[in-house]
Structure formats: C-alpha cells, structure tokens
Structure 1
Amino acid sequence: MALDGATVAFGVDQHVYTAVEQATLNVAEAEFVAIVGPTGCGKSTLLNVAAGLLRPAAGSIRIFDQPLQGLNRQAGYLFQADALFPWKTARDNVAIGLEIAGTARTEALERAQQWLVSVGLGGFGDRYPHMLSGGQRKRVGLAQVLIRDPQILLMDEPFGPLDAQTRQIMGDLLLRLWSAHRKAVLFVTHDLEEAIALADRVVIMSAGPASRIIGDWRVPLPRPRDIFEVRLLPDFHALHRQIWDVLKDEVMKGYAQSQGPAEISR
C-alpha cells in the first residue's frame, strides 16, 4: 500500500479544513506499521483513505501497485467500536462476511468455528455479544475480519477501550495471528509503547490541522515478541525515548488546541 502526497480536506469554498497534508507512506507486504499522533491529528482519516472510504483532495493511493478506485477490496477494517450484530451469535457474526460473499451457510459456519478456535473462543460460538466480555468481543471482531482473508489489515485503536491486562493479551494474540498469516497491517494507536511492542515501523504524525507525517522509525526488536517481555529490553526504552522526544511536542500542541484560548490563558 502506497500513499503519495495524500491531502485530505473537508468543506467547500472559504470553509475548508485540511485534516492531513502531503502524507506519503509505504507499507510493504507482510509489514506491520503503527501510526501514532495527538488526538485529532488525522490518524483515522489516513485509515479511511486506505480503505477507500475517503478520496484524497490531492495525491494518490495505490494498492499492490494499482490505483485505488472505490473501496479497497484487499483490506479488512477493525474499528475501535464493536461491529457485531447483537442479535447474532459469535459464530454467526464471524460467518456473515462469507455468507454475503456467496459461501454456503454450512461451510461458512464451519470456517467461522475454526476461526473462533484460532482466537481462543472455540467454546463460545453460541453466545451473543452481550454475553461476552470486551476482550472476547474484540476476538470475535478479529475473527470476523480475518475469515475473509484480506491482504491488508486496517486497525483503528482496536484495543483502546480495553483494560491494560486485556490489551496485552490481545496484542500477543494479534502478533501470533500476524506471524501465522503475514498480512500487511496499518495500526492506529495513541499508545507509543503499544506501537513499539507490535510494529516493524512506527510512524509519527504532527498535531493538526494540516497534519503531516514527521517521523518514521524502524523497530530493531527481534521477533517473535512477547508484549510484556519486550517492554523490558534496553532497545525498547532507547527507541521509546527517541520517538517521545519528537512526539511530546506534538501532543502538547494538540492538547493546547483542544483547550481553546480561554483555557490556555489560565
């Protein structure tokens, strides 16, 4: 996936807001790239461009070296909020993507059950979303995306609402599945530690408006990784300090903008 000078703007005439300006980003096959930046800097906007949900006002996006026209059919999108149908069981929620694509229901349900086993929910197929914990619903959502075998995973703070322990468990699960299936991943998070622990590269965006990509660091940590153990390594802390030296100024800019003039002056 390649974004070349992508600019995203909203509004018309004199009321145009530029969310992202001149974003250039390449994600190779089987590469895990994390995007980190202040609140409101356009991280999710870039994901929506990559998904084909937004068309850039300038610049281009190519998927497997072909211009993206319409929706990105090569990608699966895991949102921060649950995207499960409350009236369907976990197994039915996972199977629905295959059924819509024309797979026979019996086969779709069999494959859905296999994916539930893969995410550690083999015995939960008959439960409805309200009967599952937050972490379990995230596992169902992950299986729901992966069952369609997308070549690119777009993930918008998928573990954000979870507690710290569950986030760590989900991070380890994601790395295990990624290692087995080697999809390209574009992962948005506010958590710099999470980004370093998961990714091959960490990309930093500036505070908006007209947010830009201002840093791109390769993560020199060996794989496979354990989310807890990797955070104890000296190389992890050295990279965290290096990135935070750049990111902290942008975070403070974003915070100041969110407060408004009255709050800043206090």
Structure 2
Amino acid sequence: MEKATPTAVALQDATVAFRVADGRVYTAVEQADLAVADGEFVAIVGPTGCGKSTLLNVAAGLLQPAAGRVRIFDKPLVGLNRDAGYLFQADALFPWKTALDNVAVGLEIAGTSRGEALARAKQWLGSVGLGAFASRYPHMLSGGQRKRVGLAQVLIRNPKILLMDEPFGPLDAQTRQIMGNLLLELWSADKKAVLFVTHDLEEAIALADRVVIMSAGPSARIIGDWRVPLARPRDIFEARLDKDFHALHREIWSVLKEQVMKGYAQSSQGAEAS
C-alpha cells in the first residue's frame, strides 16, 4: 500500500483579526483553508492588502489565528515553526558581514563550529552562482546577487518548508526570471514544501504546482485553487510560451481581475479619506 504524502502546512478555518487604534477589530483573513503537501510548490496570489503575507506569518508561527487551527506535518503548531525558512521581500543581510559570513551566520547561531559553517556557506554560495563573491559586502552586490545570498542563507539550514514573501518583487523582470529558474533548480533537488506569495500571476503559474487566489480584504478568503498543468522540470522562459500557460492565465485572471479592481477601489477610497 502506497504511503500517503504528509501535509507540510495545513490551515484549517484560520481567521486572523487585529485590534486597531479606535478599538475596533479588523478581520484580515477569514476561515482560510489551505493544505500544502510535502514537496509541493504552492503560490498565493491576490490584491494588495488581502492578507497573503498574513497567511505566511501564521504558517511561520509569527501570528496566532483568532480562530481555526494550524498544523505542520500533521501536528499542531505551537510557537515558531522551526521546520520553516522564511525569505522576505526586503533583504535580511547584515551590512557589516561579507556574503560568506551572511550565509554562515545561521549555522553559527545554531552551534555549528565556525570552520564547518564557513565551509558549508562556501558550498552554498557556489550553488547560487556566487562562489567568486564570497568576500564582498552587501553594498557591493547587485539586487539579484543579494537575493541569491538571501536564498543561500535560508537554504543552508535545510528547512523542510520554504515560506517566500514576494522574494523577487524588487528585481527587474529579467532578473526575476533568472532567480525563478534558480529557485526551481534548487527546489527540484530535494522538493521542499513551498508557500510562495506574489502579486505576479505569470510568476505564480510559471513556478508553482498550484495557484491559490485570495479575495480582496477585509475578511479576505481563499476563493480559488488551480493545479498548474505544465510539466517539470520547467524553464520559466519556455513555460510562458506554452498554450496551457496562457489558457490557465486567462481562466485565473477571469476570477482575479474583479478582486484586484475591488482592492484598488478600496485603497483609492482610503487615500481620499485620509
């Protein structure tokens, strides 16, 4: 009998609410149900401010839901998610440390000897194509190179789950595609569970096994879940030319467009009110 694939991340009726300055309760996300299997790459797309990053923070254990449950590998999440590595949109590099030291620092904090940490960091810099840049400081690197260092910084700790919040957002279009292909290459080596937040529907389809759509907030909900029919291994440049890519993009956009316009209208009204 074939063994069932464990669920790496499961949000069950998760509702996230915040108390705002005037004492009211603002519900950011309402009754979210989302399951990510071990080894599965899931992208979350939705309008600005719909709670995509909030869901990542819940999965990371940085936020506790007001209602519902969070399970990691079929066990209730208590405190921080120690199985997850988190790659943020903003660089999380220490400006006074070299690329090599930035990658090694997580291992050193965990108790790995400095010599071993530096040796493994050097290997990871090579894996992301920065072997010749080990002695450079963050300000000496391009945006894409800093993202590569950040990716190595997360992956060196061998997390079982990758949480990625618009990690390539600040980059130009060509560099984003290069980074996307690098991510797919590294991911295919051991197939970690990935939860990837992006505003870019094309990026989501090109990278993921599934694309999940959220409605505009407040009280944002998951309103769609599509499986991507593109074969793996996958090259982002070629995937965007595939007829199945364009068919899926049209189908998802027919649902997403209304939510994007609703989110834009709400943000415009908020700006006028202020």
Q: Indicate whether the TM-score tops 0.5.
A: yes
- Say if 2:52 is the partner of 1:48: no
Aligned equivalent of 2:140: 131
Aligned equivalent of 2:6: none
Task: Give 1:262 deviation, angstroms.
Answer: 8.3
Which residue of 155, 158, 166 corresponds with 2:164? 155
Equivalent-residue separation in structure 2 for 1:7 and 1:257 (angstroms): 21
Which residue of 4, 9, 23 corresponds with 2:17? 9
Task: Give 1:218 deviation, angstroms.
Answer: 0.2
TM-score, normalization by structure 2:
0.95
CA RMSD, Structure 1 to Structure 2 (Å): 1.3
**After superposition, where does 1:100-179 map in structure 2 within 5 Å?**
100-179=109-188
Which residue of 229, 241, 251 corresponds with 1:232? 241
SS in 1 for 2:132: coil
> Percent sequence identity over matched residues?
83
Equivalent-residue separation in structure 1 for 2:75 and 2:234 (angstroms): 33
SS in 1 for 2:145: helix
Task: Give 1:181 deviation, angstroms.
Answer: 1.9
Aligned equivalent of 1:241: 250
**After superposition, where does 1:67-78 map in structure 2 within 5 Å?**
67-78=76-87
SS in 1 for 2:229: coil
Equivalent-residue separation in structure 1 for 2:144 and 2:256 (angstroms): 29
Equivalent-residue separation in structure 1 for 2:88 and 2:162 (angstroms): 11
Equivalent-residue separation in structure 2 for 1:10 and 1:114 (angstroms): 43
Task: Give 1:261 deviation, angstroms.
Answer: 7.2
Which residue of 248, 261, 267 corresponds with 1:258? 267
SS in 1 for 2:170: coil
1:58-117: per-residue Cα shift (whole Å, max 9, x none)? Answer: 000000111000000000000000000000000000000000000000000000000000
SS in 1 for 2:212: strand
Equivalent-residue separation in structure 1 for 2:164 and 2:178 (angstroms): 16
1:148-170: per-residue Cα shift (whole Å, max 9, x none)? Answer: 00000000000000000000000
Q: Runs of at least 4 residues of structure 1 off by over 6 A?
A: none
SS in 2 for 1:158: coil
1:19-68: per-residue Cα shift (whole Å, max 9, x none)? Answer: 00000000000000000000000000000000000000000000011100
Aligned residue pair count: 264
SS in 1 for 2:133: coil
In structure 1, the gaps of 5 or more residues are: none
Aligned equivalent of 1:199: 208
Aligned equivalent of 2:3: none
Task: Give 1:263 deviation, angstroms.
Answer: 5.7
In structure 2, the CA distance between the partners of 1:262 and 1:53, relative to structure 1 (3 Å rule), is closer
1:191-227: per-residue Cα shift (whole Å, max 9, x none)? Answer: 0000000000000000000000000000000001111
Aligned equivalent of 1:82: 91
Equivalent-residue separation in structure 2 for 1:135 and 1:261 (angstroms): 34
1:128-166: per-residue Cα shift (whole Å, max 9, x none)? Answer: 000000000000000000000000000000000000000
